Structure 1
Amino acid sequence: MLMAGWGIQRQQYGEQKHWMLVTLAAMLGQIGTEGGGFGFSYHYSNGGNPTRTGGVLPAISAQIEGGSSAGNDWAVSDAVVNLPVARIVEALENPGGKYQHNGKEQTFPDIKMIWWAGGANFTHHQDTNRLIKSVAEARAGGDFRVLLDGGGETCRYCSPDHHIV
């Protein structure tokens, strides 16, 4: 069984890798055999995972409805910018620039510090090369970066004196 997620598409010629997985499965004679073949994204929508039968707790809302809860004043302060992660490159390239988000005109912040915790920011962005360039240019400008990461791809693009592993 050949399995893959969709993350391999986020690089040059990324769409070809999925077709190659299908082609490889066909060349190996695995398609249509028990336990063979190919599959994508088994971790999404319970594909390949047993159905849960226990109770499910409600999720934490992404919306902050004025005021604070449990003393989390940072979540409602003026210092917090709810920036779509896909717009991080534009934010680094255009501090103070305007953008549309959720039907409102917003202003990109002048980013002096980034705390990236969890996820593979560089491998998930839709334009990795542009992200690498924008981070390098911001770093050259003296901006301070903090990275909390397990030593993945993102660490390669932040200087050693600017990250915590």
Structure 2
Amino acid sequence: MEKLIEDFSLGLFVWQLVLFVGLVLLLRKFAWKPILGAVEKREESIQGALDSAEQAKKEMENLQADNQRLLHEAKMEREAMLKDARDLKNKMIEDAKGEAQDQANKIIEQAQATIESEKKAAISELKAQVAGLSIEIAEKVVREELSNKDKQEKLVDTMLGEAKLN
């Protein structure tokens, strides 16, 4: 250290000080401003990225909330559609049962009407046959009566016996 103090030169010191100050001024003008500008730009880009990330996070939360809401709405709509489908199915079944019952009642009524008309036709035909037989018997009785009364009674008994057998 003694040697440093002994070799000290004021002129050299001033020149070094001037050069140092000049260097500092040059660095400040040409290097620090661009470096500080680059650092500020970097800070701004980092802050912008953080803001974007925060905004993306908020949007993601909003999207998740929307997704949950849409999912809930879809479930509710599905339940409503299923209920409507069940109601429609039950209504269709009831309508089909009612229509089948109506058709069955109509078929039964038609069958009863057919049976009744056939019954009336059979009775009418039977009456016609009885009337025809009665006329035949009356004719034969009248013929036999004119000829013989014993034969007439015998003939009536025979015809009555035949009528019962048929």
TM interval, shorter chain, is under 0.3
Q: What TM-score do you get using the length of structure 1 for normalisation?
A: 0.13
Q: What TM-score do you get using the length of structure 2 for normalisation?
A: 0.13
- Say which one has the larger Rg: 2
Structure with higher helix content: 2
Structure with higher strand content: 1
